[in-house]
Amino acid sequence: MRLGTPASNGTTVDGAAVNGYGTAGNGHRKGRHANGIGRPPATTAANDEKLVVAVRVRPLKPDEGEKILHILDVKTIVLDDDSDKRDVLRQKRTSEKQYSFDFAFGEDSSQEQVYDLTTRGLVRDVLLGFNATVFAYGATGAGKTHTMVGTAAEPGIMVRALNDLFTSIAGNEPPHQVKLSYLELYNENIRDLLNPSAGFLELREDSGPLRSPTVSGLTEIEATSISEVMGLLLRGNKERTVEPTAANRTSSRSHALLSVTVTQSEADEKRTGRLYMLDLAGSERASVTKNRGKRLVEGAHINRSLLALGNVINALSGAGSGSRYVNYRDSKLTRLLRNALSGNCRTVMIGHVSPAAAHRDETRNTLVYASRASRISNKVEKNELEVNWQVTQYRDMISDLRGEIGRLKSKLDTERPSSADVRARASGTPVKQLREQIIATFREQMKLRRRLMDIDGHLMSLGVEAERQHQIISHWEARKSKLYNRPTSRPNTSAGAENGTESTVHEAWSELSYIEREQERYVALRSSTLRELEECREKAIGLENDLPEQLDSDTEREMLSLLIRVHELEADKVALHGERLVESHELRRRADMLQRFHRQQRLTDEIITRQRHIIEEGKIQLPMDLLELYTLYQQEIHATTFSTDTAGIPYSAYDTLPPIKEVDTILEKRGYTAMIPPSADTDGPRTSTGGSSSSNDWELPRLQTASSSYGQGARNSSRTPPTPPPVLFPPIHRT
Ligand SMILES: Nc1ncnc2c1ncn2[C@@H]1O[C@H](COP(=O)(O)OP(=O)(O)OP(=O)(O)O)[C@@H](O)[C@H]1O
Q: How far is the CA of 218 from the centre of ligand 1 (A)?
A: 29
Q: Whose CA is nearest to atom 31 of ligand 1?
A: 146
State the pLDDT at residue 705.
30
pLDDT band at 106 (very low <50, low <70, confident <90, very high): very high
pLDDT band at 557 (very low <50, low <70, confident <90, very high): low
- Coil, strand or helix: which one is 322? coil
140 among annotated binding-site residues:
yes
Separation between Cα atoms, residue 690 and residue 97, nearest integer Å: 7
Contact indicator for 672, 635 with CB cutoff of 8 Å: yes
Q: Are β-strands 131-138 and 346-353 bridged in parallel, bridged antiparallel, or unpaired? A: parallel
Contact indicator for 708, 617 with CB cutoff of 8 Å: yes
Query: Mutate which of 57, 248, 352 to test ligand 1's pocket (most atoms within 8 Å of Cβ)?
Result: 248
145 lines ligand 1 (CB under 6 A): yes
Q: How far is the CA of 143 from the centre of ligand 1 (A)?
A: 3
Q: What is the pLDDT of residues 16-71, one digit of tens each?
A: 222 233 333 333 322 222 222 222 222 223 344 557 899 999 999 988 888 899 88
Closest CA to 269 of 25, 55, 465, 8: 25
223 among annotated binding-site residues:
no
145 among annotated binding-site residues:
yes
Q: What is the pLDDT of residues 480-533, one digit of tens each?
A: 654 445 444 555 544 444 555 666 777 778 878 888 888 888 899 989 988 998
Q: How far is C-alpha 556 from the chain's CA centre?
A: 54
Contact indicator for 483, 477 with CB cutoff of 8 Å: yes
Residues of the chain with pLDDT > 70: what percent? 51
> Looking at beta carbons, which pairs linking 578-582 to residues 24 or more positions away fall under 8 Å?
578/449, 578/452, 578/453, 578/456, 580/383, 580/386, 580/387, 580/390, 581/387, 581/453, 581/456, 581/457, 581/460, 582/456, 582/460
Closest ligand 1 atom, residue 148 Cα:
18
Q: What is the pLDDT of residues 118-155, one digit of tens each?
A: 999 899 888 877 788 898 988 888 999 999 989 889 99
pLDDT score of 198 more than 70: yes
144 among annotated binding-site residues:
yes
How confident is the model over 88-93, as a mean pLDDT? 45
353 lines ligand 1 (CB under 6 A): no
The ipTM is 0.98
Compare 487 and 476 and report the one with higher pLDDT.
476
User: Crossing angle of helices 293-316/332-342, nearest 10°?
Assistant: 30
| Residues contacting residue 713 through CB under 8 Å, at least 6 positions apart | 681, 720, 722, 723, 725
354 lines ligand 1 (CB under 6 A): no
State the pLDDT at residue 619.
81
List the single range of 56-70, 220-234, 366-380, 701-715 with lowest mean pLDDT.
701-715
156 lines ligand 1 (CB under 6 A): no
Contact indicator for 157, 117 with CB cutoff of 8 Å: no
Q: How far is the CA of 141 from the centre of ligand 1 (A)?
A: 5
Closest ligand 1 atom, residue 142 Cα:
21
Separation between Cα atoms, residue 103 and residue 71, nearest integer Å: 10
Contact indicator for 726, 681 with CB cutoff of 8 Å: yes
58 lines ligand 1 (CB under 6 A): yes
141 among annotated binding-site residues:
yes
Q: How far is the CA of 363 from the centre of ligand 1 (A)?
A: 14
Separation between Cα atoms, residue 498 and residue 484, nearest integer Å: 21
283 lines ligand 1 (CB under 6 A): no
How confident is the model over 92-111, as a mean pLDDT? 82
Q: How far is the CA of 670 from the centre of ligand 1 (A)?
A: 67
142 among annotated binding-site residues:
yes
Question: Quick one: residue 248, left, alpha or beta (phi over 0 = left, psi -120 to 50 = alpha)?
Answer: beta
Top mean-pLDDT range of 52-61, 169-178, 195-204, 712-721: 52-61
| SS (HEC) of 237-270 | HHHCCEECCCCCCCEECCEEEEEEEEEEEECCEE
Q: What is the pLDDT of residues 649-688, one digit of tens each?
A: 334 344 344 455 555 565 566 554 433 333 333 333 333 3
351 lines ligand 1 (CB under 6 A): no
Question: Quick one: residue 274, left, alpha or beta (phi over 0 = left, psi -120 to 50 = alpha)?
Answer: beta
Q: What is the pLDDT of residues 343-358, one digit of tens each?
A: 567 789 999 999 999 8
